[in-house]
């Protein structure tokens, strides 16, 4: 059970590479699910002023494309543009610094949960992106609306104040980064630093206002079944295979009685990304837990692990089961599909024009960055 207390920094280290990693062998099929920018206001509006400032910033060499709503959002994103134009035009190296700072905080969790902030940061990135509605083109990661009530108080987001407060420390050090970019980059760092696959990512999200907050009920309800899962994920634009792939994130972290009402970890190593979630679903015998809380399952052997009704349905629904079995038998396959699905999830709601680079970046882990730095130093001294 010591694995339950391992901090993120004790995850099995990969061999350090001499060079920065090349782009992953697959080219993610990014979808055009986005909150399309509204038409600009009249020439005398503040929106026009801020768009003009954005054009000036771009002309000055900053490849930043911000499309804004009327009123406060225009002012908010316009202020970001002015900040960039006056002080810094962030480069990939700047985002690498943010990534490293996030990784340092994640690993410095002390006694929090299982010694890592990684799972709760991934949950923040997931929940801030998973509100997207492809029909109304609202929600998603673009406006980081979980900063506002009532979205911050939705039951599905209980406990995420821990992650948001943690990211405020990073925001204070790097004020130029938007909350949407910060939170999704934190999700990328959490997955990669806990031994998971590379998640292609790129910046370009902007900060919205309270009026952009999404209604309650857009995130999965763990007490429901297959029809509910499909309703939630189909609304975002995902299919059955992607639903199962994303569900594998439950290899990480645990449920808390004072947040969701459920209790316990899904796996014996909740700070390591692996396909154990799928393997345990099929290898263990699961029985309904006898307690005063909501319906959940526990493993019959140790009674120390849990599964939610929405987890167990992956073994009962014919379509879901097919993919879950494949991922239980082949971690590399799950890593590949998980990476693609998460990269898509983190871009939901963001107009393609806003991204500052046409192709996503594959960001090296902290170990890989340090290894590359040592290699360069060695080359200089040779």
Integer Cα distance of 78 and 187 in angstroms: 26
Catalytic residue among 201, 266, 286, 361: 266
Q: Cβ distance 99 to 229 under 8 Å?
A: no
Residue 364's nearest CA partner among 170, 228, 198, 168 is: 198
Active site residue 127: yes
Spatial CB neighbours of 25, under 8 Å, sequence gap ≥ 6: none
**Among the listed residues 53, 45, 117, the one whose alpha carbon sits nearest the alpha carbon of residue 80:** 53
**Catalytic status, residue 266:** yes
| Catalytic residue (one of 127, 154, 212, 250) | 127
Residue ranges in 207-330 assigned as alpha helix (H): 226-236, 240-247, 276-283, 309-312, 318-329
Report CA torsion sign: 125, 182, 254, 285.
positive
Paired with 265 in beta bridges are 254
Strands (E) located in the chain:
254-255, 264-265, 286-288, 297-299, 306-307
β partners of residue 297: 288, 307
According to DSSP, the residues that pair with 141 across neighbouring strands are: none
Q: Identify whether the C-beta of residue 324 lies closer than 8 Å to the C-beta of residue 314.
A: yes
Catalytic residue IDs: 127, 266
């Amino acid at each position: 059970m010591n694995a339950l207390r391992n901090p993120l920094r004790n995850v099995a280290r990969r061999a350090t590479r001499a060079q920065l990693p090349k782009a992953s062998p697959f080219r993610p099929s990014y979808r055009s699910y986005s909150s399309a920018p509204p038409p600009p206001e009249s020439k005398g509006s503040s929106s026009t002023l801020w768009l003009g400032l954005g054009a000036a910033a771009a002309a000055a060499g900053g490849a930043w494309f911000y499309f804004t709503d009327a009123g406060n959002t225009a002012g908010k994103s316009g202020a970001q543009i002015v900040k960039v134009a006056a002080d810094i035009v962030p480069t990939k190296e700047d985002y690498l610094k943010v990534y490293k700072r996030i990784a340092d905080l994640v690993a410095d969790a002390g006694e929090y949960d299982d010694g890592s902030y990684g799972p709760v940061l991934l949950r923040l990135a997931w929940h801030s992106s998973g509100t997207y509605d492809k029909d109304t083109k609202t929600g998603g990661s673009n406006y980081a609306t979980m900063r506002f009530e009532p979205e911050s108080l939705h039951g599905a987001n209980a406990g995420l104040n821990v992650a948001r407060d943690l990211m405020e420390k990073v925001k204070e050090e790097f004020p130029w980064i938007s909350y949407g970019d910060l939170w999704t980059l934190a999700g990328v760092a959490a997955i990669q630093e806990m031994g998971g696959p590379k998640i292609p990512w790129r910046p370009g999200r902007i900060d919205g206002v309270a009026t952009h907050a999404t209604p309650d009920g857009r995130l999965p309800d763990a007490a429901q079944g297959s029809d509910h899962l499909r309703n939630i994920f189909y609304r975002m634009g995902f299919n059955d295979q992607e639903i199962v792939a994303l569900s594998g994130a439950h290899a990480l972290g645990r449920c808390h009685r004072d947040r969701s009402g459920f209790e316990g970890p899904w796996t014996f190593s909740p700070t390591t990304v692996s396909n154990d979630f799928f393997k345990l679903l099929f290898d263990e015998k699961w029985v309904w837990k006898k307690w005063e809380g909501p319906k959940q399952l526990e493993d019959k052997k140790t009674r120390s692990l849990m599964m939610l009704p929405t987890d167990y349905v992956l073994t009962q629904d014919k379509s879901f089961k097919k993919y879950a079995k494949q991922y239980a038998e082949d971690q590399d396959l799950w890593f590949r599909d998980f990476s693609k699905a998460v990269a898509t999830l983190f871009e939901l709601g963001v107009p393609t024009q806003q991204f500052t680079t046409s192709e996503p970046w594959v960001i090296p882990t902290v170990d890989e960055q340090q290894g590359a730095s040592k290699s360069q130093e060695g080359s200089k001294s040779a």
